[in-house]
Amino acid sequence: MASSPAVPPVAGRSAVRPILALAAAAFGIGTTEFVIMGLLPEVASDLGVSIPQAGHLVSAYALGVVVGAPIVAVATAGLPRKAALLALMLIFLLGNLACALAPSYGLLMLARIATAFAHGAFFGIGAVVARDLVPRERRTQAVSLMFAGLTLANVLGVPFGTALGQALGWRATFWAVVGIGVAALAAIQAFVPGGLPGQRGGILREFRALTRWPVLVPMLVSTLSSVSLFALFTYITPFLTGVTGFSPGAVTGVLFGTGIGLTLGNLAGGRLADRNLPATVLGGFLGVAAALALLAALGPHPVPAVALLVLWSGLAFALVSPLQVWVVEAAREAPNLASTLNQGAFNLGNALGAWLGGTALTLGVGYRFLPLIAAAVALAGLALTLAALRGRAGAAMPQAT
């Protein structure tokens, strides 16, 4: 079956280099996704559009991930996994090169969408490759190490990319991302082993495998986890300034702290899930809901608010790699497709979470109570996970190792 690697799992240092190569690519992809948020004024001024119009470049990227994930998954299904990863990095490079050179807002929008097409499939296939490079008892840790590139993009890539764009112009940031992409492409070519097969069997058969309830449940849970996260995270700056009372300058330091929380939580989630994946997912959702409820109560108080935000961000990202592994294990007949489509599910949750939070604010819900809405969604994820464990979907969920 396609879920079994053509080369035996490797342990120790021999597995570290290929996974770090994948993490380097994840760093570049994460940076190009999020750095545009800090450069909206520069982009708007240079291209002669309003800041809200420039903001559509953010949502267009997310839409490109959601739409592109199944299309690119089908297009790369027959390729060996290393070849697919190299092809996706080439799309990423060309897309960012087009962003750096785009002479107009419309062409920049098209370049962003094209770049996003590589996002879901790269993380999807990369997660399968990382999982297959290590022994079974370390699979989720391997996936979390790859995703650490994404979390570090928020800690390092976005702040430095924003500072670079503000100092030298927004195009300089995209040129820097192109450089990161070249380095990651070379690392993947050098360190990721060949011999890891693509999908086997007809594509229709593989898509049918994804319609099974045990596969759909973890994808839905993944979506709920992202809805919960982005219902608040999208509006974290006005929450901190309007509820907690921070100055705009102080918000940067708080966001750096949440980025540290994301990174540590991601790595801890991988380690805990290899011991007991169901308990990690259940505990993660329960912890997220509790932290958010406390944040709604203590939001006006700076010290506990910051502590809770860092804790919340860590708990939220502790769910990412366990949910990704749950999907792949449930879809053994089509791991590449399932893993890629789950990235689309996460990004769909990003958009839905931003919409949910924005709708609540439009209806008159104050920023202070956004954490309660996010907590309610986390409890829905907890309830669905519990129902899955008691039903047929629970059979496909890896248990304690």
DSSP symbols for 213-272: HHHHHHHHHHHHHHHHHHHHHTTHHHHIIIII---HHHHHHHHHHHHHHHHHHHHHHHHH
Is 3.30.420.60 the CATH classification of the domain at 1-200? no
Q: What is the pLDDT of residue 16?
A: 87
Q: What is the pLDDT of residue 401?
A: 43
- Quote the crossing angle between the two packed helices 170-191 and 40-47, to the nearest 10°: 120
Q: What is the pLDDT of residue 393?
A: 56
- Closest by Cα among 137, 124, 129, 11 to 399: 137
Q: Give the SS3 label for residue 127.
A: helix
Q: What is the pLDDT of residue 190?
A: 92
Among 58-62, 273-277, 390-394, whose mean pLDDT is lowest?
390-394
Q: Is a pLDDT exceeding 50 seen at residue 4?
A: no
Max mean pLDDT among 121-125, 197-201, 250-254, 370-374 falls in 370-374
Q: What is the pLDDT of residue 131?
A: 86
Q: What is the pLDDT of residue 276?
A: 93
Condensed to tens digits (0 to 9), the pLDDT of residues 145-178 reads: 998 988 888 888 888 888 898 889 999 999 999 9
Q: What is the pLDDT of residue 317?
A: 93
Among 63-77, 268-282, 292-306, whose mean pLDDT is lowest?
63-77
Mean pLDDT over 173-193 rounds to: 94
Q: What is the pLDDT of residue 154?
A: 82
Condensed to tens digits (0 to 9), the pLDDT of residues 54-101 reads: 878 887 888 888 888 878 877 887 788 899 999 999 999 999 999 999
Among 12-21, 242-251, 263-272, 378-387, whose mean pLDDT is lowest?
12-21
For residues 208 and 372, the model is more confident at 372
Residues 6+ apart with CB under 8 A from 25: 85, 89, 92, 122, 126, 149, 181, 184, 185, 187, 188
Mean pLDDT over 222-250 rounds to: 89
Q: What is the pLDDT of residue 137?
A: 83
Mean pLDDT over 324-347 rounds to: 83
Average of per-residue pLDDT values in the chain: 86
- Closest by Cα among 100, 97, 109 to 54: 109
Two structure tokens written together for 361: 């604010």
- Closest by Cα among 198, 146, 187 to 6: 198
Max mean pLDDT among 121-130, 280-289, 338-347 falls in 280-289
Q: What is the pLDDT of residue 21?
A: 95
Q: What is the pLDDT of residue 6?
A: 43
Among the CATH numbers 1.20.1250.20, 1.10.1060.10, 3.40.1440.60, 3.40.47.10, which is that of 206-401?
1.20.1250.20
Residue 292 sits at the vertex; the CA angle it makes with 234 and 365, to the nearest 5 degrees, is: 60
Band (42; pLDDT cuts 50, 70, 90): confident
Mean pLDDT over 193-215 rounds to: 69
Q: What is the pLDDT of residue 297?
A: 95
Taking the C-alpha atoms of residue 383 and residue 388, their distance in angstroms, rounded to an integer, is: 9
Band (3; pLDDT cuts 50, 70, 90): very low
Band (350; pLDDT cuts 50, 70, 90): confident
Among 148-162, 193-207, 256-270, 383-397, whose mean pLDDT is lowest?
193-207
Among 179-188, 329-338, 392-401, whose mean pLDDT is lowest?
392-401
Q: Percent of the chain scored above 70 by pLDDT?
A: 91
For residues 194 and 368, the model is more confident at 368
Two structure tokens written together for 390: 């008691």
All CATH 1.20.1250.20 domain ranges in the chain, comma separated: 1-200, 206-401
Band (392; pLDDT cuts 50, 70, 90): low
